[in-house]
Amino acid sequence: MTSDRSSDGSRSRNWLERIGQLLGGEPQDKEQLLEVLKDAKERELLDTDALSMMEGVLQVSDLRVRDIMVPRAEMVYLKRDDPLERIMEIAIKSAHSRFPVTGDDKGEVVGILLAKDLLAFCRDHVRRPFNIRDLLRSAVFVPESKRLNVLLKEFRASRNHMAIVIDEYGSAAGLVTIEDVLEQIVGEIDDEHDYDEGPGIFRRGPDAFSAKARTTIDDFNEYFGTDFYHDELDTIGGLVVNALGHLPKRGESIQIGRFRFTVMRADSRRVHLLSIESLDSDQAVPGAEDERA
C-alpha cells in the first residue's frame, strides 16, 4: 500500500509535470519554477497576487525562525509576580491577545497568558482572587534554526498561534507567531493596532537586525541615528531597491553607509524583509550615509 508521503510526492511531481507540459518544459529547481510561474502570469493564467503568494510559499522553506522573530528586547511580556493592575495596564496598552510570562529572568518563559482569560476579572462587582499561575497556558518552544515551513505545519497541527524562540542555551531569544509566518506568504497583515507598534526593526544581535522593507526612512533614521534621505522614496526597502538599480532577489546585498542590507524575502513586485548588518566605521562607505538624491 502506498504511503501518504509517497502519495503527496507523486501529486507534487504530477503537478509540476502538468505545469511544465503547459508552459514548455518541466522545471528542475526553484528558480526555473519561478520563471514558469512568471510566464504563467504573463499569459494571464495567474494574477499578480496569486504569483506573489506562490513566490512567498517557495521562499518560506528557505527562511528560518531567527529571520522573522520578534527579539527578546522587543517582546511585550508579563512577569509571573506582576499584580493584576499592572497586567491589565500592559494588556490594554499593547492590545495583544497573547503574552509570554517570565519567571525571575526575562529569558525564562514559564507560560503564555491569553488576554481573554482576564475578562472574568474586569467586572468591578466581582471580587475574584487572582493568581496568574492558574491562568497560564503551556508555552511552545522552538529553536532559532527551525525552518518556517516546518513551523507553520506545527502551528496548524497543534493549533498554537505563538511559539517562544530559544537560543542554544535554552534561554528565550524572542517569539514568533503564526501571523508572522503567514505574512511571508500573503504579505503584511495589518490590524488596527499595527500602526502604534513603532518601526518594524528588530535587533537579532549586537550588530544584526531585521527590518520590514516598508519601514519608513524617517523611522530608520530615528532608530539608528542616521541621516538617510531621498526626495522620491519613503521606505527603507525603496532605498535599497534604488541603490541596487533593480528589483532584487533573495540573498542580494548592498552596502549603504555603515550598513549592509541583505534581501531576506522579495517577490516579483516588491521587497518584503531585510537583514541589516551594522558595519565598523572603517568599513563604511565615506559620505554614503548623508548622500542626498
The predicted-structure confidence for 6-43, as pLDDT tens digits, reads as follows 554 454 455 555 555 555 556 666 777 777 777 777 77
Give the model's pLDDT for residue 127: 66
3-state secondary structure of 197: coil
Lowest mean pLDDT segment, chosen from 38-42, 172-176, 212-216: 38-42
Question: What pLDDT, in 10s, does the model give residues 227-254?
Answer: 998 888 889 999 999 999 998 888 899 9
Mean pLDDT along residues 186-202:
59
Q: What is the pLDDT of residue 253?
A: 92
Please report, rounded to a whole number, the percentage of residues in the chain having pLDDT higher than 70.
79
Instruction: Sketch out the chain's domains with CATH numbers.
Output: 4-46 (no CATH), 68-165 (3.10.580.10), 198-293 (3.30.465.10)
Which range has the worst mean pLDDT, 59-63, 147-151, 215-219, 222-226? 59-63
pLDDT of residue 291: 39
The model's pLDDT over 265-288, given as tens digits with 9 standing for 90+, comes to 887 677 888 999 998 655 444 434
In whole angstroms, give the CA distance from residue 154 to residue 156.
Answer: 5
What pLDDT is recorded for position 289? 43
- What is the 3-state secondary structure of 50-76? HHHHHHHHHHHCCCEHHHHCEEHHHCC
**Residue 2: predicted pLDDT:** 47
* pLDDT, tens only, 56-86: 787 788 888 988 888 888 889 999 999 999 9
Mean pLDDT value across residues 84-101: 91
- Residue 159 has a pLDDT of 87
Contacts of 191 (CB under 8 A, 6+ apart): none
Q: Which of 93-97, 164-168, 191-195 has the lowest mean pLDDT?
A: 191-195
pLDDT at residue 195, as a whole number: 39
Cα–Cα distance for residue pair 176/144, rounded to 1 Å = 10
User: What is the mean predicted confidence (pLDDT) over 156-170?
Assistant: 91
Average pLDDT of the chain to the nearest whole number: 80
Region 198-206: what's the mean pLDDT? 75
What DSSP element (H or E) covers 203?
A: strand 201-203
pLDDT band at 138 (very low <50, low <70, confident <90, very high): very high
Residue 11, burial from CB neighbour count under 10 angstroms (0-12, 13-18, 19+): exposed
Q: Residue 259's pLDDT is what?
A: 94
